[in-house]
Amino acid sequence: MESIQEALKRMPTSNNILNQFEKIKEEVLTDKTIQQFIQANPAIEDAELDRNISRLFEFRNERNNCIRCTSLQSCPNLMKGYEPQLYTERNKILIRYNKCHKKTANDERSRQIELIKSLYVPKEILSASFETLHKDNRSRITAIAKAFEFASTANPGETGNGLYFHGQFGVGKTYIMGAVANLLADRNIASMLVYTPDFFRELKSGIHDGSYIEKLEIVKNAPVLILDDLGAETMSSWIRDDILGVILQHRMLEKLPTLYTSNYDFELLEEHLAYSQKGGVEQLKSKRIMERIRHFAEPVYIEGENRRGSM
């Protein structure tokens, strides 16, 4: 097979086209990454390089797009979310496309959101950061400091200690947890923020088709789990013992941190967990759950006025 350069020489007005080709060839072959590839594959012949200038040009452009990439949504590559990789097969130059880390993370998050619909949270929570948090009273400053310390030092699998934020409705507990999740993400630590009442309802509805088992496994094994609004659910012995108890027991054994927000302090939450829909009172089982929470989560009270819409 003749090279592109040889084919161009036979075309009318070949001089201009040939000059353009030579310019592209020079740009491609002086690219640092392509030079490294050529040096790593000395068996590649010059004729093979000539035949694949357009392929190498495509590789260089798409790789540069990846270097400048700011978000998956703005990816200009022909295959959005995929980055090129040069390789050889029988001394032939080929390109394969692999998922970039942004697409991998996006696909995993999409899978989890699809599987656990209670992960949907307001956009302002997902965009929360410690820089935007209001620090207007002592308890809030303390809570933010403890949250920042946790997000900066958490080491899932090595220590399972977490936090238990409690206070009145609308004081910003969930918003602070959103800032925790984002700082953890900056450290490449995955977290899962679960609105507890919706999650429990979804698990219950998944009993008939067995889907609740997979959902439960994902929550059990999240590197950092944030159970939002614990205590707002309608309690049943199944939720307490077979769901919450199983989650917390597993996370305790695996040293995976769990954080909580609740309108209840420990004493009121223990009372809530003792009651079930059937009207029974099971204080011993409630105490077992609370022991797992108390031992691994530091209680932090947040006072203040309802600040929904302005965190």
So where are the chain's domains?
4-101, 116-301
The CATH superfamily of 116-301 is P-loop containing nucleotide triphosphate hydrolases (3.40.50.300)
- CA dist 81 and 174 (Å) reads 31
Two structure tokens written together for 93? 């130059």
Which residues lie below 8 Å from residue 132, measured CB to CB, with a gap of 6+?
179, 311
227, 194 Cβ separation under 8 angstroms: yes
| Predicted TM-score (pTM) of this structure | 0.64
**pLDDT by residue, tens only, the chain of 311 residues:** 555 555 545 555 545 666 777 888 888 889 999 999 999 999 999 899 988 988 999 999 999 999 999 899 899 998 999 999 999 999 999 999 999 999 998 888 777 655 554 465 676 777 788 988 888 889 999 999 999 999 999 999 999 999 999 998 878 899 999 899 888 888 878 888 999 988 888 888 887 777 788 889 989 999 999 999 999 888 888 889 999 999 999 999 999 999 999 999 999 999 999 987 666 678 889 999 999 999 999 999 998 776 665 45
- CA dist 48 and 52 (Å) reads 6
